[in-house]
Structure 1
């Protein structure tokens, strides 16, 4: 088993890409379940997810964890986006929410 070198939040599509490098026969049961889950629920490819994450963190002042949540869900309306950001307990201006939606639209 490999030593953990760094812990970092990553979108579902990045997990799919990482696990997809392995042969299914070499995966343990948890890895196979995880790969099955991320294959079904990953909404964008890993390159697009990484671009969205970088832009959300850099341009919208989101944390990596917040960016991962948004990229995994890919909200398409202001109402959907507000329902997620409301739980973060920080004020996000309407113009920033609009920018988030624009980034998601441009990269998905």
Structure 2
């Protein structure tokens, strides 16, 4: 088993990008299942996902993990966004939530 060199939260689009570079014959079963899953459900290209994640972290002061959650789900309404951010157990101002929705729309 390989040693973990770096631990980082990445979006499903980034997972798809990484796994697409691996020969399918070399993948283990979990990698194949993961690649199959992301191939079916990812609807944003990796560059847009990375850009959105960076923008959410910088402009909305989200953690990398929070930004990845937003990139993966891409909520479309304030109510939907609040349902995700509620679980983070920190206060996020309405203006920040509006900025998050604006960033999502810019990258969709």
TM-score interval for Structure 1 and Structure 2 normalised by the shorter chain: over 0.9
How far apart, CA to CA, are the structure 1 residues paired with 2:58 and 2:95? 15
For the Cα contact (< 8 Å) 1:77–1:101, is it kept in 2? yes
Deviations 1:65-105 (A, max 9, x none): 00000000010111110000011111101110010000011
Q: How many residues align?
A: 108
Q: For the residues of structure 2 that align with 1:79 and 1:39, how far apart are their CA atoms?
A: 28
Runs of 4+ more than 2 Å apart: none
Residue segments in structure 1 that go unaligned for 5+ positions in a row: none
Q: CA RMSD in A?
A: 1.0
Q: In the TM superposition, what is the alpha-carbon distance from 1:4 to its structure 2 partner?
A: 1.8
- TM value normalised by structure 1: 0.96
- Report what 1:24 is aligned to: 24
Please say if 1:104 is aligned against 2:92.
no
Aligned-partner Cα distance in 1 for 2:58–2:97: 14
Structure 2: tracts of 5 or more residues without a match: none
**Shift in Å at residue 11 of structure 1?**
0.3
